[in-house]
Amino acid sequence: MLYSVISSLESSDFISLDKAMQYFETHAHVGLICDDPIEQLIVIQEARQASVTRLVSICNSLHDFVKIYDNLKSASNVFHAVGVSPSEVQNPGKDWAQIIEQSVQLPRVVAIGEIGLDYYRKFGDKKSQIELFITQLDMAAKLNLPVIIHNRDAGKDVLDILRDRLPPKGGVLHCYSEDAEYAKRALDLNLYFSFAGNLTYRNARNLHDTIGVLPLDRILIESESPFMVPADFRGKRNMPKYLPLTARFLADMLEIGDEELSAALWENSNRFFGLPTE
């Protein structure tokens, strides 16, 4: 039944791409897009039909990680990150560290995240957020995994902490929101910079300027779905299948061909997550 549902999918707003190109979706909250396990697999299949052939699922909370992981277990092109986000700082659960250490032993778990600091929403107090962030950075070092970093209105503290505690496998500043000067400082560390659909917004001058100072081999893209939908789909819920729109916009900014960019992003993403390119 499930196979027939997925195999017969049709959608009027798939992004049609050259078969030679493939994209790596580095950050999608599949559990926030929809709750139903079959619908979640349909989201993955729709992305695949749009040439988004690998995807990292970011659990919307540590409490939901196992459920989302099990829902997507049959999707061999889906990888996973596990961690306690700043939004959970007041209620991570008493066994949260043990849950992370057990979860990273599962197949296709490739990163700790998302973790970081969020001073905009004021989740708990700053001290508690910083302690949680540092603890998970140290765990990532011990577990030999990269980290996916959330930063909202906390840029100075994030960078100061990363200078001392970034694990050997490095990290990615996901859904990058700082400016070009910040990026220049962050380039001294083993960090990648991931851009979401908001890169396509006309008023995102800080992001457009940042692209101009970054080497291509440090750039990733993500949907951050169901948030940050590309400009062409404003008003809709964001989906991984829209990721190629962000890629096309980025290719135009860099003045390179779509295929050249696709190949570079694919190489960068797999390198960061420690995966083979084939």
What residue type is 7 in one-letter code? Answer: S
- Asked if residue 114 has a cis previous peptide bond (ω within 30° of 0), the answer is yes
Q: Is 27 annotated as a binding residue?
A: yes
95, 153, 274, 53: CA torsion to nearest 10: 100
Q: Give the Cα separation of 151 and 43 in Å (integer).
A: 27
Residue 174 counted as an annotated binding residue: yes
What order do you get walking across the sheet with 109-118 strand by strand? Answer: 23-28, 52-58, 78-82, 109-118, 147-152, 171-173, 191-195, 219-221
d(CA 262, CA 243): 11
How many other β-carbons are positioned within 10 Å of the β-carbon of residue 264? 16
Q: Which residues pair with 82 in a beta bridge?
A: 112
User: Is 63 part of any known ligand binding site?
Assistant: no
Q: How many CB atoms lie within 10 A of CB 3?
A: 9
Annotated binding site: 27, 29, 114, 150, 174
List binding-site positions for a divalent metal cation: 27, 29, 114, 150, 174
